Amino acid sequence: MNIDHTELMWLDEHHELSLNELIELSGLSQAELQQLVESGALIPNNPAAVNLTPETWCFNSHCLVSIRTLSRLKHDFELESNALALTLLFLERIRTLEFQLRALDQTKESDQD
């Protein structure tokens, strides 16, 4: 038994991942992630870096949640690379809508109180 303090990372908008970390954690290849950035489905935190080398890109750690889902879908449904960008856009749209729905539900609950 050991207590972990150091290895814990928050997946949210306050923490960043490099491209290499994203490759390691998501299971997608550099070429696939690069294609996602080039198509605009995945936006680095430093948009100016899009035109620089991929090594300079960094991403909100929160994107790992959708990227991992994408990676699972790619594996389990044998998705082709050009379907990945579209799938990621839909995943992000679902995430945003679910977030808005939760916020609406909470407002409704506190109105009823």
Partner 1 sequence: MKFKDYYKILGVARTATNDEIKKAYRKLAHQYHPDISKDPAGEERFKEIGEAYATLKDTEKRAAYDELGRHPSGQEFKPPPDWANQYGNQGFSFEDIDLSDLFAGFSSGKRHTQHQGRDIPIPGQDYELATQISLEEAYHGVTVDLSFTVPEYNHQGQLKHVPHTFKARIPKGVSNGQKMLLRGKGGKGFHGGRDGNLYLNISFIPHRLFSIKDYDLFIDLPLTPWEAALGATVKVPTLQGAVNLKVPAGTSSGQKLRISKRGMPKHNQEHGDLFAIAQIVVPIHLSDRERVLLKELTDISTFNPRAHFE
Q: Which residues of the shown chain bind partner 1 in the complex (CB under 8 A)?
A: 1-5, 7-12, 14, 24-25, 61, 64-65, 68-69, 72-73, 76-77, 103, 106-107, 109-110, 113
In angstroms, rounded to a whole number, what is the distance separating the alpha carbons of residues 58 and 52? Answer: 12
Helix (H) or strand (E) holding 16: strand 16-18
Least CB distance to partner 1 at residue 19 (A) = 16
- For partner 1, give the closer residue by CB, 52 or 99: 99
Smallest gap, in angstroms, from Cβ of residue 50 to partner 1?
25
Q: Which is nearer to partner 1, 55 or 90 (CB)?
A: 90
Q: Which two tokens stand for residue 41?
A: 């489905």
Q: Supply the minimum distance, in Å, between the C-beta of residue 96 and partner 1.
A: 14
How far apart (Å, rounded) are the C-alpha atoms in residues 45 and 57?
Answer: 7
Q: In this complex, which beta carbon is closest to partner 1, that of residue 42 or of residue 66?
A: 66
- What H or E segment, with its residue span, contains residue 73? helix 63-77
The angle subtended at Cα 45 by Cα 33 and Cα 72, nearest 5°, is 35
Task: State the DSSP code for 17.
Answer: E
Least separation in angstroms between CB 81 and partner 1:
18
